[in-house]
Amino acid sequence: MAWRGLHITKPARLSLADRQIVIDQDDGAVRLPVEDIAWVVLDTPQATLTTALLSACMERGVALVTTDARHTPSGMMLPFHAHYRQAGVAAIQAACSAPLRKRLWQAVIRAKIANQAANLGRCGGDGQPLLAMAGRVASGDPENVEARAARIYWQALFPAFRRGDSADKRNMLLNYGYAVVRAAVARGLVAAGLLPAFGIGHTSVSNAFNLADDIVEPFRPFVDRVVWTLSAGNKASEGEPSLAERRVLAALPLEPVLLGKETMTLLAATEAVAAGLVRAFELKSAAMLRLPAFVSLPEAR
């Protein structure tokens, strides 16, 4: 079972030998079994990959993320036909009724806002107002509680912060982390036989990852928590994310999360959520969709 990620930041030549990824760099070569790797972030313009390795990664369901000159994730590569029941699952997904999509979206947004509330509590804020708002999310969120909760959340998490300010380093960190987690979510969806283009809340005709953008929503606060820590709470900063910061964000799929009563890695949770979504489509029940939550903090003694 895949459980590891690679973050390539220095010049490297990646190839395949004996079903292993060979990472050849100036200071030597490292070999890792392809079957252990779930995601790869290519965070340097000086990395080359052989087609044999690319093919092996797609066969094993490895998500490949590329970055641009500013080290911002800019692309993603995922496999086709990663599930033995691909056509059957896709047919069930396509046949999902509008009422069921609305109920699923309601569950997603409730979980997102609840996680935002939990994150505020961990960061020294008051999450109770957001918890109350989560309970008011109706089927399809017609009153757009998500947006109203977001305004309260960001003002409390990062005072005087604007999510669209490209000069604020915290936005760069958030975008990097979101891209890594989005890739993990998309990988899980494809592995479950789902088509990422067909969303339940996001429906843009130009977005090939509408469903990934739906399911990533409850996972976003986990990224926010890490970025809050990296940015020393609410302190604004300039410049580009450092290598050390990018390494922390590239490891986000290994963060612990709670799914039901079970603690697991964020990566494992993306797979479990995707499997639950398939069951929700099959049984026409939004109750089948389990979504992540923060692991409870130990009580003070």
Overall pTM surpassing 0.75 (yes/no): yes
Lowest mean pLDDT among 78-87, 211-220, 226-235, 238-247: 78-87
pLDDT at 301 over 50: no
CB 194, CB 268: distance < 8 Å:
no
Task: Tally Cβ neighbours within 10 Å of residue 79.
Answer: 18
pLDDT at 116 over 80: yes
Per-residue pLDDT of 156-173, as tens digits, reads 999 888 888 888 899 999
Q: What is the pLDDT of residue 162?
A: 87
Average pLDDT in the 257-272 region? 97
Rounded percentage of the chain residues whose pLDDT exceeds 70: 95
Q: What is the pLDDT of residue 150?
A: 96
Distances 4 to 35, 46, 63 between C-alpha atoms, Å: 9, 22, 11
Q: What is the pLDDT of residue 85?
A: 77
Sorted by sequence, the CB contacts under 8 Å of residue 25 that are 6+ apart come out as: 10, 11, 12, 13
146 Ramachandran zone, left/alpha/beta (phi>0; psi -120 to 50): alpha
Q: What is the pLDDT of residue 167?
A: 83
Domains and CATH numbers, the chain: 4-77 (3.100.10.20), 86-288 (1.20.120.920)
pLDDT at 30 over 90: yes
Average pLDDT in the 206-228 region? 96
